Structure 1
């Protein structure tokens, strides 16, 4: 099951705001950007934005990757603190990987960023 609409980042301005903080952490599969939500955002939970470029492959392959990332994120969402915007950029190596590997690597990069333990790194 995918991420529900209130939990998604859709506006370009929100993506740009998160990217502008230059707070990123990466591994071979993902780059994760994070930022606290601005006060004008009226949600009390985390939001996620996914970026899968054409380097990954054709449209059906990019959708496949997005679905796997979304499913993996939903499985670990209980460990994500509220009031946080997270943008996940998929790298080409993620294409064709099994769900378990995608979830493990996503957990790894979120842990590097300090997001899983609730203490976001600066």
Structure 2
């Protein structure tokens, strides 16, 4: 059990540090005129009820959540699903940078919590002046 948790943690860490810049057709539309800072959060929760989403928090604090289909039938499928989550996050970042936002920071994190629950998120901080 501990070996499988360690393997999953390593897998999530490896995928988190190597996101792809491929465009994804379902990313949210950028806000055209907003200035300030915003966050794009790519998050995945594994365990009994696996979930994934891309959360966009605009400068005014409004939140947009896009759920990502995330089934976990095998380690190979989970890896493919993680890639899809990162592709969706990078497509969102690319849309906002095309609209004049600048990526200022990326903060990945993985958490192994009680039992089998693993949570992974990457936060992209963007700025527009």
TM-score by length of 1: 0.30
Rg bigger for which structure? Answer: 2
Higher helix share: 1
TM-score by length of 2: 0.29
